[in-house]
């Protein structure tokens, strides 16, 4: 959400801090006159799954950005066959670590060294002290030797060598190109509300990365909630952390999907989204009334553009207060009528909810929260009061013993009034409009006039003497200080822990609490939640979007990289505001954007207050581009849903980079202007203004055009494709089978359509695929997994498991690359069908094959 105040993005510089203008080519933090001694290894003790060792400071403390901790403990655990845990912590246990009650991790399975595909060794250097290596066979994938470990109370530095021109993916969140620039990149992890500033820290914090070497991937994850810089430069990856411990996990891979699966096994698999979440969503910050929203709903229908879910931003609230309705423009009675009408049309409703609660004794959510002691405190024990949409506001403390039950109670009261289908939990970085507890000392019944506005004020002097406000090492946070536009780092939670240590967990804990509350409120209905702020493990609870992007072609392009990033982060249900959020879009941009956005896992059109309207029916060309692209999406909902079930079971992303599927093709390593949906559907959009063609890369193999089934023989090279304004190029990978259904304007109606299969034969006349299906709504639904295999003109449908009854039958099979089919047999019985032939494909219609039973379909010539 766009803030009312505009704080200039500056950096502050302490006496020993690294300047924001210092290039990332600094290989080490210390000035040349400072040499940190590192550590030497003491006792070693074997454990059931690895060993522990003591680490002692090897010389005079350098106290570079804090106080050197003299006694450390190294723990090495061979957790699984493909996961290695290396943890360096202070022996006294005083450094803050993420509690397992907050973010539980998959425990060690006790694989042991003998069964592990990853091996660990260490060395002792006279100059740099202790260093370690993680090996995969003879290949070293992480190597700290030659770089001293620095472990202080407010600064930890770990440096590992990288090959020249390494292929690194992940680490964020920040708008960036997908393959990271390993010569000059600083990834700062400090959650903040950000309007699409390229390369700058934004809403979430994710330390996991993948590296491609040769044809194989491996990965690493640092489990730490503190602010940090992760620097790629000088053939190294260097972690500069503001405290905590060096808690690393390494993943063997060897494929990209393997690494992501191993990572999400550790932090948690993605949640099961309801089927309806796969439809098109529409929102705007600035709809004047419920009646204007009704007009928008009607206009989508008139334009025959699918519309699944209608969203409202803060406009619906009474003076910006959560859990309320504007009595004039969004009266509850009219909202209830609207919701009833939407449900009658198989459509859905989503509303925004913020964590900020108005500091007002007559406001019931505050009164109940204060009575239960659920709000964040100042160090002196008073309530921390800031400024957000309702004016002076308090923030829930998710560490509080009563906070989850209080929050769940407020959601229950709200949903009892209006039982919306999903929630958008926004501004949970948490985002604020001022620096510090700017409402402290004010009466609890002081309510400012609405709308609340904040005039930019001169920034307060930075308090360098307070190392929670201004730590000695200054991470490359994109604002003046860590507390800007968010809760102050000196604020404390119920356990007395300062926000400095837990800031990056706030949105994750908000998401977890909200998800669990909804699951309790509707015990057998899958919640749908959207959150801007994420952390490791957030995929268990929420979907995500890139936040306040801009309406320009560059942000359109970068949205693809962000989508691919979040596939790595274990949050596959990801998208960007179609046509852009900030600024005015254009007809051309909006058409091109929907041609990409139709294939985001999460597809929503949304824009800001004051910008021109950009609903997809506003321009004829955009409406036509929407009907075409969304028509493909809705046709392939079963294919998309099947791949999302793979996300639930294996952690695999839905949207995939070409390099994930073709790592052996060197040219794919940097491609982020095309992407795959699942493993079979290649999207090659226009991302440049004024272009009516696109140079698309095609890996070797046969690729079939979605529209006319014509074939391109990929040769690991670019092919120039025509791309008029209303057209997006979509190709089907040979060797794959895609299940679909005849589409409608909602997912519920689409689920009633007859099934079809697209069988894209490869050069060996073979293809395979699968279909997963359930009711798309409940947790305990029966399901059905089906394997699909085509080989030498015979299609086999094989039931794998489950007993969900699929009502529509299979009526159509398109055999791409299979010419001149004349007759068809189903289970050895000839059936009457209609067969058409085009561009070397045979399209069989008129079938009615039961998908609840095994079947063998043969094609004769």
136, part of any domain = yes
409, two tokens: 């109670």
pLDDT for res 446: 80
DSSP label of 248: E
User: What strands, in cross-sheet order, belong to the sheet with 129-136?
Assistant: 118-125, 129-136, 139-143
Would you say 763 and 702 are in contact if contact means Cβ atoms under 8 Å apart?
A: yes
pLDDT for res 31: 44
Peptide bond into 430 cis (omega under 30): yes
DSSP label of 454: -
* Secondary structure (3-state) at 595: helix
- Cα separation, 735 vs 737, in Å, equals 7
Are 365 and 251 in a shared domain? no
579, two tokens: 């046509």
* Virtual torsion, Cα 22, 24, 30, 33, nearest 10 deg: -70
* Virtual torsion, Cα 228, 234, 237, 241, nearest 10 deg: -20
Q: Which residues contact 815 (CB under 8 A, 6 or more apart)?
A: 759, 761, 790, 821, 841, 842, 843, 844, 859
Pairing of strands 841-849, 834-838: antiparallel
Question: Which domain covers residue 135, as residue numbers?
Answer: 39-267
- Cα separation, 443 vs 76, in Å, equals 54
Would you say 286 and 252 are in contact if contact means Cβ atoms under 8 Å apart?
A: no
316, part of any domain = no
596, part of any domain = no
pLDDT for res 456: 65
9, two tokens: 């993005």
Q: Which residues contact 707 (CB under 8 A, 6 or more apart)?
A: 730
622, part of any domain = no
Q: Is 429 a catalytic residue?
A: yes
690, part of any domain = no
650, part of any domain = no
Are 381 and 509 in a shared domain? yes
436 φ, ψ (degrees, to nearest 5): 85, 180
Catalytic pick among 481, 548, 555, 577: 548
231 φ, ψ (degrees, to nearest 5): -110, 130
Would you say 551 and 153 are in contact if contact means Cβ atoms under 8 Å apart?
A: no
Pairing of strands 829-831, 823-826: antiparallel
pLDDT for res 412: 98
857, two tokens: 């379909």
Would you say 558 and 177 are in contact if contact means Cβ atoms under 8 Å apart?
A: yes
Are 255 and 368 in a shared domain? no
What global pTM score does this model have? 0.96
Peptide bond into 336 cis (omega under 30): no
* Secondary structure (3-state) at 156: strand
DSSP label of 203: S
pLDDT for res 454: 63
DSSP label of 573: S
Question: CA separation (Å) from 689 to 554, 557, 582, 618, 816?
Answer: 10, 11, 18, 19, 33
CATH number, domain at 844? 2.60.40.1180
- Give the other-Cβ count within 10 Å of 451's Cβ: 11
**Considering only CA atoms, which of 504, 561, 563 is closest in space to residue 538?**
504
pLDDT for res 3: 37
Report DSSP letters for 90-135, one per residue: ETT--S----TTTS--PPP----GGG-SEEEEEEEETTTEEEEEEE
Length of the chain as a residue count: 861
pLDDT for res 441: 82
DSSP label of 59: S
Peptide bond into 231 cis (omega under 30): no
Are 263 and 393 in a shared domain? no
As beta bridge partners, residue 554 has none
CATH number, domain at 208? 2.60.40.1760
pLDDT for res 594: 98
Pairing of strands 755-760, 766-774: unpaired
Would you say 489 and 483 are in contact if contact means Cβ atoms under 8 Å apart?
A: yes
pLDDT for res 629: 98
The CA-based angle 18-23-26, given to 5 degrees, is 70
Are 390 and 512 in a shared domain? yes
Are 263 and 360 in a shared domain? no
Q: Which of 506, 531, 556 is the last residue of a domain?
A: 531
Catalytic pick among 82, 429, 499, 661: 429
Catalytic pick among 90, 157, 308, 426: 426
pLDDT for res 35: 82
DSSP label of 550: B
pLDDT in tens, 176-187: 999 999 999 999
Q: Is 426 a catalytic residue?
A: yes
* Secondary structure (3-state) at 569: coil
Based on DSSP, count helices (H) and strands (E) in the chain, helices before strands. 13, 47
Q: Which of 215, 235, 267 is the last residue of a domain?
A: 267
196, two tokens: 């699409």
Would you say 358 and 366 are in contact if contact means Cβ atoms under 8 Å apart?
A: yes
Question: CA separation (Å) from 27 to 32, 107, 210, 787, 855?
Answer: 11, 34, 21, 51, 62
The CA-based angle 494-496-501, given to 5 degrees, is 105
* Residues of the chain scoring pLDDT < 50: 1-33
**Considering only CA atoms, which of 817, 785, 828, 832 is closest in space to residue 804?**
785
556, part of any domain = no
Are 257 and 375 in a shared domain? no
Q: Which residues contact 189 (CB under 8 A, 6 or more apart)?
A: 171, 172, 201, 205, 206, 207, 227, 228, 229, 230, 475, 504
Are 378 and 493 in a shared domain? yes
620 φ, ψ (degrees, to nearest 5): -60, -40
* Virtual torsion, Cα 677, 683, 687, 690, nearest 10 deg: -150
Are 89 and 222 in a shared domain? yes
Are 253 and 370 in a shared domain? no
656, part of any domain = no
Q: Which of 267, 293, 310 is the last residue of a domain?
A: 267
- How many structural domains are present in the chain? 3
Judge residue 497's burial from the number of C-beta atoms within 10 Å of its C-beta, 0-12 exposed, 13-18 middle, 19 or more buried. middle
């Amino acid at each position: 959400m766009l803030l009312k105040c505009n704080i200039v993005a500056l950096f502050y510089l302490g006496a020993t801090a690294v300047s924001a203008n210092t290039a990332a080519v600094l290989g080490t933090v210390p000035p040349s006159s400072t040499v940190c001694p590192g550590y030497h290894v003491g006792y070693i003790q074997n454990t059931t799954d690895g060993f522990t060792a003591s680490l002692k400071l090897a010389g005079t403390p350098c106290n570079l950005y804090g106080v050197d901790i003299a006694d450390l403990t190294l723990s090495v655990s061979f957790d699984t066959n493909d996961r290695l845990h290396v943890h360096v912590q202070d022996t006294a246990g005083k450094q803050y670590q993420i509690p397992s009650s907050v973010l539980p991790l998959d425990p060690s399975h006790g694989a042991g060294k003998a069964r592990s595909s990853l091996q660990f060794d260490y060395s002792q250097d006279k100059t740099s002290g202790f260093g370690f290596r993680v090996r995969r066979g003879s290949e070293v994938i992480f190597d700290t030797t030659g770089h001293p470990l620095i472990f202080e109370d407010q600064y930890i530095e770990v440096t590992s060598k990288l090959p020249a021109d390494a292929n690194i993916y992940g680490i964020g969140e920040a708008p960036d190109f997908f393959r990271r620039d390993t010569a000059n990149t600083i990834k700062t992890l400090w959650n903040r509300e950000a309007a699409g500033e390229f390369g700058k820290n934004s809403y979430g914090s994710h330390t996991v990365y993948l590296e491609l070497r040769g044809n194989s991937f491996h990965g690493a994850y640092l489990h730490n909630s503190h602010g940090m810089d992760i620097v790629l430069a000088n053939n190294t990856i260097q972690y500069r952390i503001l405290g905590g411990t060096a808690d690393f996990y390494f993943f063997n891979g060897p494929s990209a999907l393997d690494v992501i699966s191993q990572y999400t096994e550790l932090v948690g698999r993605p949640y099961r989204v309801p089927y309806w979440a796969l439809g098109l969503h529409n929102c705007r910050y600035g709809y004047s009334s419920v009646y204007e929203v009704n007009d928008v709903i009607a206009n989508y229908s008139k334009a025959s553009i699918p519309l699944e879910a209608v969203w409202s931003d803060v406009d619906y609230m009474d003076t910006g207060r959560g859990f309320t309705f504007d009595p004039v423009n969004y009266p509850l009675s009219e909202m209830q009528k609207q919701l009833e009408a939407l449900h009658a049309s198989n459509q859905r409703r989503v509303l925004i909810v913020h964590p900020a609660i108005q500091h007002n004794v007559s406001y019931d959510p505050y009164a109940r929260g204060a009575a239960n002691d659920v709000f964040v405190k100042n160090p002196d024990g008073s309530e921390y009061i800031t400024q957000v949409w309702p004016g002076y506001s308090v923030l829930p403390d998710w560490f509080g013993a009563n906070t989850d039950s209080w929050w769940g109670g407020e959601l229950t009261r709200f949903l009892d009034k209006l039982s919306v289908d999903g929630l958008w939990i926004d501004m949970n970085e948490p985002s604020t409009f001022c620096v510090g507890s700017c409402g402290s000392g004010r009466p609890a019944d002081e309510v400012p006039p609405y709308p609340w506005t904040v005039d930019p004020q001169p920034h307060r002097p930075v308090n360098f003497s307070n190392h929670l406000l201004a730590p000695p090492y200054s991470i490359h946070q994109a604002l003046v200080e860590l507390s800007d536009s968010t809760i102050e780092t000196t604020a404390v939670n119920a356990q007395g822990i300062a926000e400095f240590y837990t800031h990056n967990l706030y949105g994750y804990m908000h998401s977890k609490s909200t998800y669990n509350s909804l699951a309790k409120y509707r015990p057998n209905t899958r919640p749908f939640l959207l959150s801007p702020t994420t952390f490791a493990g957030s995929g268990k609870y929420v979907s995500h979007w890139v936040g306040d992007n801009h309406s320009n072609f560059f942000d359109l392009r970068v949205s693809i990289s962000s989508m691919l990033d979040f596939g790595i982060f274990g949050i596959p249900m990801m998208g960007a505001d179609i046509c852009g959020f900030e600024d005015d879009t254009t007809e051309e941009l909006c058409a091109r954007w929907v041609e990409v956005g139709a294939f985001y896992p999460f597809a929503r059109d949304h824009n800001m207050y004051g910008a021109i309207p950009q609903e997809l029916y506003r321009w004829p060309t955009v409406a036509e581009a929407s009907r075409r692209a969304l028509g493909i999406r809705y046709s392939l909902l079963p294919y998309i849903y099947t791949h999302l079930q793979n996300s639930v079971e294996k952690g695999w992303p839905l949207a995939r980079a070409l390099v994930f599927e073709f790592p052996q093709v060197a040219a794919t390593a940097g491609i982020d202007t095309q992407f795959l949906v699942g493993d079979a559907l290649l999207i090659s959009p226009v991302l440049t203004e004024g272009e009516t063609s696109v140079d698309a890369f095609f890996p070797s193999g046969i690729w079939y055009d979605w529209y006319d089934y014509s074939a391109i023989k990929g040769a690991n090279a670019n092919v120039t494709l025509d791309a008029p304004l209303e057209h997006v190029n979509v190709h089907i990978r040979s060797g794959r089978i895609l299940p679909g259904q005849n589409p409608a304007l909602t997912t519920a109606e689409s689920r009633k359509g007859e099934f079809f299969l697209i069988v894209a034969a490869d050069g060996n006349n073979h293809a395979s695929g699968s279909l997963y299906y359930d009711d798309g709504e409940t947790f305990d639904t029966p399901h059905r997994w089906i394997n699909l295999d085509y080989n030498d003109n015979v299609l086999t449908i094989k039931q794998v498991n489950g007993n969900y009854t699929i009502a529509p039958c299979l009526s159509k099979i398109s055999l791409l690359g299979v010419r001149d089919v004349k007759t068809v047999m189903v289970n050895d019985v000839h059936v009457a069908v209609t067969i058409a032939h085009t561009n070397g494909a045979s399209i069989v219609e008129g079938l009615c094959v039961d998908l609840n039973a095994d079947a063998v379909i043969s094609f004769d010539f």
